[in-house]
A = this chain, B = another copy of it.
Amino acid sequence: MSKNRLEAFSDGVIAIIITIMVLEMKPPHSDSLAALKPVIPVFFSYILSFIYIAIYWNNHHHMLSAVQHVNGVILWANLHLLFWLSLFPFVTAWSGENNFSAVPIALYGVVLFMAGTAYYLLTHALIRHHGHDSPLAKAIGTDVKGKVSLVLYGSAIPLAFVNRWIAFSLYCLVALMWIIPDRRIEKTVTN
């Protein structure tokens, strides 16, 4: 089984997820500016999810470029990641339509946490297969950002019930952490 297949299939699924999410943003029936008001939170949750899926696509590709061969465990670890990513349209719509109220925004966090965990499991399946001295293992490194993200998602879930905006801000913070150019941050954090 070749790595290219895995890459092309993952790219296809991620491109579809990022695009069909917009179908959850239903155009209002009336044509006034006021009719757009309930769409605004859906729009913001769409932006956030678009950024997250884009980050996953970016990191996934970056990691796979160092991969040399895949096995059955890696294949299923990758499908497991795609499964959690595929739930983004659902939680995006539910959070947005309910103006980020506690339960939906907490569930959004659960999906973020599970996708993050699935990514972590995938990196470890890849490292186990390529060896701890492989260029891949070095490229992944200690993965401080990945672990910090999991802690922040995990904290945001209960905090959503205290105040929805704490959870929302934490999700934005993690996204920002990944958008800002990697190398500098990684240097700062690991030094």
Residues of A within 8 A of B (CB): 1-2, 5, 8-9, 11-20, 22-25, 27-33, 36, 47, 50, 54, 57-58, 61-62, 65, 72, 75-76, 79, 82-83, 86-87, 89-91, 93-94, 97-98, 101-104, 107, 179, 181-182
Contacts and interface: CB of A to CB of B under 8 A. Distances in A.
A54 B31 contact: no
Contacts of A89: 22-23
A31 B101 contact: yes
Question: How many protomers of this protein does the assembly include?
Answer: 4
B72 A27 contact: no
Nearest to A72: B181
Contacts of A17: 19
A185 B182 CA distance: 43
Shortest Cβ-Cβ A-B pairs, 7 listed: A12-B15, A27-B94, A31-B98, A16-B19, A31-B101, A27-B93, A54-B79
A9 to B, nearest CB: 6
A18 B94 CA distance: 21
Contacts of A94: 27-28, 31
Contacts of A57: 9
Given A1-B62, A9-B11, A11-B9, A20 B16 contact: yes
A21 B67 CA distance: 30
Contacts of A50: 79, 83, 86
Given A31-B104, A104-B31, A20 B23 contact: yes
26 contacts: A1-B62, A1-B65, A2-B65, A5-B11, A9-B11, A9-B14, A9-B15, A11-B12, A12-B12, A12-B15, A16-B20, A18-B82, A18-B86, A19-B86, A22-B86, A22-B89, A23-B23, A24-B27, A27-B90, A27-B91, A27-B97, A30-B98, A32-B103, A33-B103, A50-B83, A58-B75
